[in-house]
Structure 1
Amino acid sequence: MSEFRMPSLGADMEDGVLVEWLKQAGEAVSRGDIIAVVETQKGAIEIEIFEAGTIERLLVDPGTRVPVGAPLALVRGAGEPARPAVAEATPPMPKSEPAPAPAAPSRPVARPIEARPSEATRDRTSPAARQLAAVRGIALAGLVGTGPGGAIVRADVERALAKTGAPTPRRGIDPGEMRKAIAAAMARSNREIPHYYLTHQVDVTATLAWLEALNAGRQPPERLLLAPLLLKAVALTLRDFPEFNGHFVENAFRPSAEIHIGTAIAIRGGGLVAPAIHDANIKHLDELMAALRDLVARTRAGRLRSSELFDPTVTVSSLGDRGVDGLLGVIYPPQVALVGFGTPASRPWVVGDRIGPRMVMTASLAADHRASDGHRGALFLLAVARRLQEPEGL
């Protein structure tokens, strides 16, 4: 019997609110299944399980604030017999406090005239779904549940709300709280990590011309942006420079065999998250473009998954669409490097023995001196530049 615990979804997370269970006691689960939704300062996060088995018991009720590391459920392994109910002691519940209810809309919402939901309907509705339905005036009796055993979950209420044309509220994202979380993580980073910074100017004239020629024969939804080329160049280079890919934990650097690139994404209304694109080094450019579009859409809809937040091994941040020349990032602990890219701009550039206009972009590296040094950092940036200048090899 193992314990499924509240995961840490970032260096700035101390606790989270269990919004709803998507699996119930007695249900079989497989590795990667989403079994719960937890609300943090970064929004509502879908929590995955990384072992196969059967949920023996749920230990925490929806609406409970739970510290990182506290047990949420008991999971029985494959082939492991169930424990007799009379012989099993109830594990201690984590100290918690009720999650604050969301504020009512500033404008009155017209509520449909409906019969009071039956007790049977209430029993098959998650607390989060019931709360949202009450605030937004959605009739539970008319909904078809897609949760465990036909239960109505929040996603069912959101779909019904979308059909009315009313905007669906983003779950739990408070820009002020997110700013506090970001500030806490960055303060810790500046306090604990001995940063060093390097920048390098990259001639991307040939890269942009190659990209334009590639997109000329494609329909708009199939066209590539520059971003996946940046991600792939970094990912491939990290194979030769493992000291920039991994985590500094327990006073030691631990390189990662996988390359999961955290991609900095701005959230509308304020805030920033950097969820991971997994195994970026083995993805084709089209796969990276599709993964990036999906990640941006789900981030801004508040539907990230736990694995996308806790396992990035390096972060890439690009402000290419903001018109700035470059950026000097702050490393997100426990990572040891952040690669930044600015906006390609036309600049006078020496090619051979002549000066002419070229599209030039600034690449930067913020790195942890405990894991690497400036010599290796310089070689890393030069290698990234060479890969970008040979886009056909990406």
Structure 2
Amino acid sequence: MKEFLMPSLGADMEDGTLVEWRKKPGDPVTRGDIIAEVDTQKGLIEIEVFEDGYVDKLLVDPGEKVPVGTAMALIRTGDSETGQEKEQGLEFPVSEKEKVVLQPTEEHFDEKPLPQKFPGKRIKASPLARRIAEENKIDLSKITGTGENGAIIKDDVNKAIEQRTAPETEEKISETLPEKEPEKIADSGKSIRMAVAAAMSKSNREIPHYYLSKKIDMSKSLYWIKESNKERSVQERLLPAALLIKAVAKSLDEVPQLNAVWENALQIKNEINVGFVVSLRSGGIMVPSINNADLKSVSQIMDSLNDLIPRARAMKLRSSELNSSTITLTSLGEGGADTLLGVIYPPQVAVIGFGGIIEEAWAENGMLGIRPVINASLSGDHRATDGLTGNRFLTILNKNLQNPEDL
């Protein structure tokens, strides 16, 4: 039997509120399945399970605030499927037995009287479905439930919302938004800023930073991107950010001391998972991760960016996309500041920063010319590495960006 614990989604996270279970006792689960939705300072996050087996028992009810590391459910793995029930000769596993006795449902349902215009009539719906309906002014009495015994579940309410808004124009939708929507957006941005501030305060308080920077000629990299994009559609075109992520990941292969975390000692990670900073329109930032970035092509990294950035801004990321980064990359993009010095996100030991690409005078082999140049910076944890390691990394990064075809 394995315990499914409330995961940590960053150094700033202390707890989360369970919104909804996606699985019920007896359901089979495989690694990567979404088992629950949890509300955190970073928004509503889909939580994944990392064990293959069956859900044995749910230990937390929706609406409960759960500290990080608390057991939320019990997962019966393949090794424990044959228990006392099999020895007794029962024809079904424990999960089936529990279904008969406990009769779990997809959601917890309750019955409440409808408003006075429907006196005496009751309706069965999950608390989550009721909340979504109230926020979107949906009349539950007009919805046909598809849950157990005709109960209304979240998907039923979402379908009703889609049917209501489909014929409307974008202008009409914006006019009918709830009056407090801007306030909600502002509150969300404020909450995320507070979470980021807490993590950065901890970083400045506990981590002895050192900083290095290096100017890198981007002529060959930009030419390679331009030539590659000639054979691609607009939707498939590459951006410099994808090449920078790939170059960082490949450089970490040669300097693994920076692909690590500090937890009482340096722990070098096998996987290279590059987290990249995404600014949110409501304020604050999110840092989703491109896992195994060293094994992905530049095109695959670009596909990941196109997928993750919109979901990050919509706050629809999975837990594995938020808590798996082994190093962070932050870039201000075109037109940004010349130099960016990042703050390390604990427990990581380094952050790589890229300023905007600008044209500068560049001397090479006794010749002076104008080149597109980017300032690459490294903020390192002095407990884990020193300037010699950081300098080696920046040197290798420069070499990789001068040979983009090898990436």
After TM superposition, the score normalised by the length of structure 1 is: 0.85
Relative distance call for 1:131 and 1:242 in structure 2 (3 A) is same
Larger helix fraction of residues: 2
Conserved in 2, the CA contact under 8 Å of 1:53 and 1:75? yes
Aligned-pair RMSD on alpha carbons? 2.7
| Residue in 2 that maps onto 1:26 | 26
Cα drift, residue 199 of structure 1: 0.3
Alignment of 1:88-107 (within 5 A): none
Cα drift, residue 376 of structure 1: 1.3
| Residue in 1 that maps onto 2:394 | 381
The question of 1:340 aligning with 2:373 is answered no
Conserved in 1, the CA contact under 8 Å of 2:352 and 2:379? yes
Cα drift, residue 121 of structure 1: 4.1
Bigger radius of gyration: 2
**Which residue of 212, 219, 226 corresponds with 1:198?**
212
The question of 1:277 aligning with 2:316 is answered no
**Which residue of 177, 180, 189 corresponds with 2:194?**
180
Instruction: Give 5+ residue unaligned stretches, structure 2.
Output: 84-93, 99-116
Cα drift, residue 297 of structure 1: 1.1
Alignment of 1:224-263 (within 5 A): 224-249=238-263, 251-263=264-276
| Residue in 2 that maps onto 1:71 | 71
SS in 1 for 2:254: coil
SS in 2 for 1:24: coil
Cα drift, residue 143 of structure 1: 5.5
Relative distance call for 1:156 and 1:358 in structure 2 (3 A) is farther
| Residue in 1 that maps onto 2:131 | 131
- 1:46-79 deviation per Cα after TM superposition (whole angstroms, max 9, x unaligned): 0000001111221211111111111211222222
- Taking the aligned partners of 1:5 and 1:34, their CA distance within structure 2 comes to 14
Between 1:346-355 and 1:12-21, the stretch displaced more is 346-355
Counterpart AA for 1:192? E
Cα drift, residue 128 of structure 1: 2.3
Cα drift, residue 115 of structure 1: 6.8
Cα drift, residue 6 of structure 1: 1.1
| Residue in 2 that maps onto 1:60 | 60
Counterpart AA for 2:136? R
Conserved in 2, the CA contact under 8 Å of 1:276 and 1:309? yes
SS in 2 for 1:76: strand
Between 1:61-70 and 1:154-163, the stretch displaced more is 154-163
Conserved in 1, the CA contact under 8 Å of 2:220 and 2:401? no
Which 4+ runs in 1 deviate beyond 6 A? Answer: 114-118, 144-151, 167-173
Relative distance call for 1:153 and 1:211 in structure 2 (3 A) is farther
**Which residue of 313, 318, 326 corresponds with 1:313?**
326
SS in 2 for 1:269: coil
After TM superposition, the score normalised by the length of structure 2 is: 0.83
| Residue in 2 that maps onto 1:216 | 230
Conserved in 1, the CA contact under 8 Å of 2:33 and 2:48? yes
Relative distance call for 1:142 and 1:225 in structure 2 (3 A) is farther
Q: Percent identity?
A: 47
Counterpart AA for 1:35? I
- Taking the aligned partners of 2:248 and 2:146, their CA distance within structure 1 comes to 40
SS in 2 for 1:200: strand
